[in-house]
Amino acid sequence: MRRAFAKVLALVLISLASRSYGVEDQPPALAAQVHAIFSVKCVECHAADLPHPKGKFGYVLDLARVAANPKMIVPGNPAKSELYQMLVHDEMPDPKGNTPPLTPEEKAIVKAWIEVGAPAGVSPVIPPPPPPLTFCQRILRDLGQFHPPSTHFPIALLIVALPAELLWMLTRKDAWKETVRFCVVLGAVSAVVTASLGWCEGAVSHFSGLPAQILTWHRWWGTATAVWAIFLAALCQYAHGTASPSRARSVFRLTLLVGIISVSIAGYLGASLIYGLNHFAW
């Protein structure tokens, strides 16, 4: 009788403890924890506001949509869920990115979430749509669409000017000198046009978080590069004049090299807005 009574008492205590700790509420609680983990560890590459999220997977905070993707989640089976396997092997977040991998505790939470069926639990936070553009903003948007293709001109022209300058140093042929002048002057003009179009595009762009910071750096670095290119063009005209001292040509070559580095950095930051900071990885 005592043993039977003890068993009954144990079952009652377990039942009460289960209700006290809210076993029924475990899936929603797990979903909330997973949502919080993804909000910190995954939005750098898979946020909904990114223009081009990695792997076309820009809905990481929409747990219902994530769970409904059979390529990512097999509810109840973490071993066959690609998302969990990438997390547990530290393939996500990207090791080359700025976000550290999940801790063992965070991995355990994601695993438990999948084991209970990957419930949605929380509704994704959908940002409100941006207000309609005014007439002036539409003009800026239309002009800004020419910014990405225009960036190729200052990058290519200023880079080509360097080997042309080296060939002039070796051959002393006037044709190479004129090539340098052509590339630098046209590169400076195109840099100003490109920077202006970039400001038009940035005026109507909607970025948040890290992309917004990248946009700020890209905008001001590109502007500084355009100003530098104007100075470079004036220096080129003086350095390649008939009576210019050799020191002026040396200063011009150093300035040209700095300009090439600067325009390359501006181009890298611009591409990072589309493809992410790690797009240029070997």
> DSSP string spanning the chain?
-HHHHHHHHHHHHHHHHHHHTTGGGHHHHHHHHHHHHHHHHTHHHH-TT-SS-GGG---TT-HHHHHT-TTT--TT-GGG-HHHHHHHTT-SS-TTSSSPPPPHHHHHHHHHHHHTT----S----PPPPPPP-HHHHHHHHHHTTHHHHTHHHHHHHHHHHHHHHHHHHH--HHHHHHHHHHHHHHHHHHHHHHHHHHHHHHT----SHHHHHHHHHHHHHHHHHHHHHHHHHHHHHHTSTT--HHHHHHHHHHHHHHHHHHHHHHHHHHHHHH-TTSS--
Amino acid letter at 121?
G
CA 47 to chain centre: 10
Residues 34 and 152 placed together within one structural domain of the fold: no
Residue 192's pLDDT is 95
Domain shared by 158 and 222, yes or no:
yes
| 194 shares a domain with 101 | no
**According to the model, what pLDDT value does residue 133 have?**
79
Total domains present in the chain: 2
Q: Which of 83, 115, 147 is the last residue of a domain?
A: 115
Q: Are residues 271 and 143 in the same domain?
A: yes
Q: Which amino acid is residue 219, in one-letter code?
A: R
**Nearest by Cα to 67 from 58, 56, 76:** 76
Say if residue 80 is in the same domain as residue 143.
no
Q: How far apart are CA 188 and CA 183, in angstroms?
A: 8
The answer to whether residue 128 sits within a structural domain is no
Domain harbouring 256, CATH code = 1.20.120
Whether residues 151 and 249 share a domain: the answer is yes
Residue 55 is assigned to a structural domain of this protein = yes
What is the model's pLDDT at position 6? Answer: 43
Question: Is 260 inside any structural domain?
Answer: yes
Residues 6+ apart with CB under 8 A from 168: 176, 177, 179, 180
**What is the structure's pLDDT at 4?**
45
10 found inside a domain: no
200 and 172 in one domain?
Answer: yes
Domain presence at residue 68: yes
Domain that holds residue 174: 135-275
Specify if 65 maps to a domain.
yes
Assigned token pair, 74: 């097999």
- Judgement on whether residues 174 and 63 belong to the same structural domain of the protein: no
Same domain, 270 and 140: yes
Determine how many CB atoms are found less than 10 A away from the CB of residue 255.
Answer: 18
What whole-number distance in Å separates Cα of residue 77 and Cα of residue 16? 29
d(CA 163, CA 167): 6
Q: Per the domain annotation, does 228 fall within a domain?
A: yes
pLDDT along the chain (282 residues), means of 10: 43 38 54 83 76 75 84 87 87 78 87 86 59 86 91 92 93 91 94 94 78 88 95 91 80 92 91 74 60
- Do the domain assignments include residue 15? no
**Co-location of 195 and 270 in the same domain:** yes
Which residue, 86, 115, 144, sits at the end of a domain?
115
Domain stop point among 52, 83, 115: 115
Let me know whether 97 and 201 are in one domain.
no
Token pair 């076309």: residue: 56
* Residue 68 and residue 178 in one domain: no
